[in-house]
Structures are given as structure tokens and as C-alpha cells.
């Protein structure tokens, strides 16, 4: 069986690299003994039928300790073997993690599994093969119908994919991490929407909406100049402060809470901004990636939410302030991405965000000011005709 073979490989590697893997070696030996006894019991219970029975199925959760220790090993080859094993066990439904963590009764084993998988990542110096195995294991756990990755474990999974995308020196790993991040985020919000009521889908095409929104922005530029930036900022902050705690958030499902925590984290990342326009800057790349993921969420959104839904709450009190800050960025790419998000907000959520996006406030003195002021005519024409 694959589990036994992987633990045997870990035992062999821990014997070669003895210095820092004494505990791992002992855990592997114990696990192999237990697997041997379990195999004997199952063999004795085998009825001799033509088809294999369910009794031959190995449940890997009780044998996670050696995999956990291997993920925490300082030897990259050992960590890579364990990560590959975890990914395959999860994919084929042998490792589920729905039981209580023996080391911490206050959490599920799946939380410990995610923690172990994330542990080997140590910034730019992480072994490239280990990076790839981390990405594959995280994707398998989040997308599997057998494992339930929620709350802090989900955020940790997204954080590691995000950081690998930014820190890796391997272009393939960067692309894979970004694709994995896209799949995870898409799935989280799909599951949230699946748990919501059947809302109405938007009828207007993207081209019609974009043209309508930009035409409106152009027409309102002159009027927006009547209000000063200082008054606008104060008005927006007052609205946020007065209403951000006007009701207590209630989550209809675990999936809704996951979506809330994830979108809020992305918005908070995007609000950090970037102090430099250097394309190699970690800050700027992080900002670009967070804005791209936020835009992805909005573009994928299909249903109509009630006004007091947690999704709308995040848009009002986390996303809009972040966009307001990025609207004044000197980096054109940041402004472009932020403007694309604004278009999506007006397209799908304008009924919920009237105080935030009305001319003279959020859009008026931020985005309209940029469109009619510092941007060149050529750049303005590019936006207007796109």
C-alpha cells in the first residue's frame, strides 16, 4: 500500500539523516508495526471474494504522526516525501482529518494536517520541490469533498499559496501557486453561494455595463470637482465609523464565514498599499496579487445578496476604504486594477453601496479626480474605449 511504502521511505531517509530525525525514525517504526498488525487482522477477516472488500481499506488518520514530523524535518527530501504522501492520501480519500487532534482536543486533525503542510515553507530559500509539493497538498485538501478545511486552516492555506507566489525563485512554482490560489478562492466563494438562496443573475452584458459606468464617470467629472478631497475623505470616514458596527454579523453557514474571512484578509492586504513603483518590490507584487484576487471574487459573484449579508459588509467597510487609498496611487497599474474593481462594484453592488460610490464621495473625488486630472488624454482614451 502507498502509506506503508511512504513511511518506509521516510524511515530509510531518517536513518541516513540521523542527527535531526531521531523522533521521526521512532514514529516510523511504530507506525509500520501498527500497519503490520492491522494488515494481519484484515487478512484474517478476508472472505476470499473476487472483489476486494471494504475491510482492506486503510484509514490513514491514525498514522499521521510520522508524516507530521517529516513535514517539520529540516531535510528537504524528507519533507517532500511526506507532502507527496499527504497529497495522494487526501486525493484518494484515505486521509480525512475529521477526528479530534490527539495533540490538541480543541481542534480537528485536519487543522493539524494543514499546519504541517504549511510548515516547510520558509521564504525564498525554500527548496523548489518542497514548494511544489506544498501547493499540490493544499489544493488537494481544500478541493477534496472528504476534507473540511475551514477558518484559520483555510486562511493559512491561502496565505502560504500567496507567499509562495510572491517569494519563489521558480517561475513554474509561481504560476502554479497563483493558479492554485485562484482555484481555492473560486471554490470558497462558490460554496458560499451554493448555500445562499437562489438570487437573480445580472442581465446586462459586461461591455454594456463598463461603457455605461465609464460614461457616467466622464459626465460627472466636472461636478465632482465642486467638493474638496478633505471633505470627501471626512465624509467617507464618518459614514464608515457610524455604520460599521450598526449590526452584528451573523453567518448563515461555515462557508459564508470562510468567504467573509478570506475576502476581508484580501482587502486588508490591498489597503497596505505600496511605497514604491519598483516591479520587483514585494509590496507592489503583493498589492497587485491581492487586487487581482479581489477582482476575481467580484467577477465570479452571481447571486443577489441581502443588504446585511457579511459579503456586503466587507465591501462597505474593508474594500471601499482600500480602493479609496489605492485611487491616489502613483502606480498606474494599481489605479487600473482598482478602477476595474470599482466597475464591478457599480455593476453588481451599486444598490448596496450608494453612500460609498456616489459622485462627490468615494468615486467622485478619488477616481474621477484621477481620470480628469493627472492622467494623460491618451491614457483616458484607453480606459474609456476599453
* Domains contained in the chain, number: 2
CB 138 within 8 A of CB 188: no
Q: Quick one: cell of 95? A: 486521509
- 157 and 53 co-located in one domain: yes
In the chain, which stretches have pLDDT less than 50?
A: 50-55, 198-206, 208-210, 212-213, 217-218, 220-246, 359-360, 364, 374-386
In a domain, 201, yes or no: no
In a domain, 200, yes or no: no
In a domain, 184, yes or no: yes
HEC profile for the chain?
Answer: CHHHHHHHHHHHHHHHCCCCCHHHHHHHHHHHHHHHHHHHHHHHHCCCCCCCCHHHCCCCHHHHHHHHHHHCCCCHHHHHHHHHHHHHHHHCCCCCCCCEECCEEEEEHHHHHHHHHHCCCECECCCHHHHHHHHHHHHHHHHCCCCCCCHHHHHHHHHHHHHHHHHCCCHHHHHHHHHHHHHHHHHHHHHHHHCCCCCCCCCCCHHHHHHHHHHHHHHCHHHHCCCCHHHHHHHHHHHHHHHCCCCCCCCCCHHHHHHHHHHHHHHHHHHCCCCCCCCCCHHHHHHHHHHHHHHHHHHHCCCCCCCCCHHHHHHHHHHHHHHHHHCCCCCHHHHHHHHHHHHHHHHHHCCCCHHHHCCCCHHHHHHHHHHHCCCCHHHHHHHHHC
- 282 and 186 co-located in one domain: no
- 103 and 242 co-located in one domain: no
pLDDT of amino acid 198: 46
pLDDT of amino acid 226: 44
- 91 and 211 co-located in one domain: no
Residue 246 structural domain: 206-385
- 246 and 294 co-located in one domain: yes
- 160 and 251 co-located in one domain: no
- 238 and 146 co-located in one domain: no
In a domain, 54, yes or no: yes
Q: Which residue has the cell 492520501?
A: 89
In a domain, 39, yes or no: yes
Q: What is the average pLDDT score of the chain? A: 81
Rg (CA), the chain: 25
pLDDT of amino acid 384: 44
CB 101 within 8 A of CB 112: yes
pLDDT of amino acid 357: 60
Question: pTM for the whole thing?
Answer: 0.80
Among 194, 222, 254, where does a domain finish?
194
- 252 and 172 co-located in one domain: no
CB 150 within 8 A of CB 109: no
- 190 and 211 co-located in one domain: no
- 125 and 175 co-located in one domain: yes
Among 194, 224, 253, where does a domain finish?
194
- 173 and 63 co-located in one domain: yes
pLDDT of amino acid 330: 83
pLDDT of amino acid 378: 43
- 264 and 116 co-located in one domain: no
Among 194, 217, 246, where does a domain finish?
194
Amino acid at each position: 500500500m502507498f502509506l506503508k511504502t511512504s513511511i518506509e521511505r521516510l524511515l530509510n531517509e531518517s536513518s541516513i539523516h540521523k542527527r535531526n530525525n531521531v523522533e521521526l525514525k521512532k514514529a516510523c517504526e511504530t507506525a509500520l508495526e501498527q500497519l503490520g498488525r492491522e494488515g494481519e487482522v484484515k487478512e484474517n477477516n478476508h472472505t476470499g471474494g473476487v472483489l476486494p472488500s471494504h475491510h482492506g481499506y486503510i484509514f490513514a488518520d491514525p498514522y499521521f504522526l510520522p508524516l507530521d514530523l517529516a513535514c517539520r524535518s529540516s531535510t528537504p527530501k524528507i519533507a517532500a516525501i511526506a507532502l507527496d504522501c499527504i497529497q495522494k492520501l487526501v486525493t484518494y480519500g484515505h486521509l480525512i482529518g475529521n477526528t479530534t487532534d490527539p495533540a490538541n482536543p480543541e481542534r480537528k486533525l485536519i487543522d493539524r494536517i494543514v499546519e504541517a503542510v504549511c510548515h516547510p515553507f520558509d521564504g525564498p530559500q525554500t527548496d523548489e520541490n518542497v514548494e511544489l509539493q506544498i501547493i499540490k497538498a493544499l489544493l488537494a485538501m481544500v478541493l477534496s469533498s472528504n476534507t473540511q478545511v475551514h477558518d484559520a486552516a483555510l486562511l493559512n492555506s491561502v496565505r502560504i499559496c500567496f507567499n509562495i507566489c510572491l517569494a519563489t525563485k521558480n517561475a513554474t512554482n509561481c504560476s502554479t501557486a497563483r493558479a492554485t490560489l485562484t482555484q481555492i478562492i473560486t471554490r470558497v466563494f462558490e460554496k458560499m453561494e451554493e448555500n445562499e438562496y437562489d438570487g437573480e443573475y445580472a442581465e446586462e452584458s459586461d461591455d454594456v455595463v463598463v461603457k455605461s459606468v465609464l460614461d457616467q464617470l466622464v459626465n460627472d467629472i466636472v461636478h465632482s470637482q465642486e467638493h474638496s478631497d478633505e471633505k470627501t475623505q471626512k465624509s467617507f470616514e464618518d459614514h464608515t465609523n457610524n455604520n460599521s458596527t450598526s449590526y452584528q454579523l451573523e453567518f448563515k453557514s461555515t462557508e459564508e464565514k470562510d468567504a467573509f474571512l478570506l475576502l476581508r484578509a484580501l482587502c486588508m492586504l490591498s489597503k497596505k498599499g505600496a511605497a514604491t513603483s519598483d516591479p520587483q518590490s514585494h509590496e507592489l507584487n503583493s498589492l497587485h496579487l491581492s487586487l487581482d484576487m479581489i477582482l476575481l471574487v467580484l467577477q465570479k459573484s452571481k447571486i443577489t445578496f441581502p443588504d446585511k449579508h457579511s459579503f456586503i459588509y466587507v465591501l462597505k467597510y474593508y474594500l471601499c476604504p482600500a480602493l479609496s487609498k489605492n485611487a491616489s496611487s502613483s502606480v498606474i497599474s494599481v489605479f487600473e486594477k482598482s478602477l476595474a474593481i470599482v466597475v464591478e462594484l457599480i455593476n453588481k453592488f451599486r444598490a448596496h453601496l450608494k453612500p460609498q460610490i456616489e459622485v462627490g464621495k468615494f468615486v467622485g473625488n478619488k477616481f474621477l479626480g484621477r481620470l480628469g486630472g493627472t492622467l494623460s488624454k491618451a491614457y483616458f482614451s484607453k480606459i474609456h474605449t476599453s
